[in-house]
Amino acid sequence: MASEVPERTVRDITNLLNSAGHLLSNRLAAALAEVDLTPRMQCVLAHALERERTQIELAALADLDKTTMVTTVDELEKRGLAERRPSSTDRRARIVAVTERGRRAAAEGQRIVDDVHLDALSGLSPEARQAFLDALSRLAGIRGPGPQPVRRPRGR
């Protein structure tokens, strides 16, 4: 007796999203590599520029575990793009401060990120682009523009 293959009634959105995300991540990494940055470094620099933040806060925003965050900040310090400093509000805490060189690198990196994202969406009309971004945001559980609060603790 032959076994039946279940009929697909919906596109495999998990695979589509994973494939698209993987492709976009690779494009972004290659583009940022041209200015000697990684996507992680760019993410940390961008969030650190927004306001005074500790390594723990930046790790949560960038969705990085502690070890990866430490090595990322170590590399940013080694390159002269950021430094750990005492917090102005809590003498026990240390923040990640972006240097002037880091500001320039983050600005260039952001231009690259924006270009890669615009290129990825270039095949869509402005209306379709907005509908896609709105739908993707809903799928990701994001309610509005800008950084979102971390909804879950890291379990690693």
Segment holding 32, helix H or strand E: helix 13-33
Q: What is the pLDDT of residues 87-116, one digit of tens each?
A: 888 888 899 999 999 999 999 999 999 999
Structure tokens at 40: 């992680």
- What's this model's pTM, rounded to 2 decimal places? 0.79
What structural domains does the chain harbor?
14-140 (1.10.10.10)
Flag whether pLDDT at 135 surpasses 60.
Answer: yes
Q: Any bridge partners for residue 120, and if so which?
A: none
Per the rule left: phi > 0, alpha: psi between -120 and 50, beta: everything else, 52 is beta
Flag whether pLDDT at 133 surpasses 60.
Answer: yes
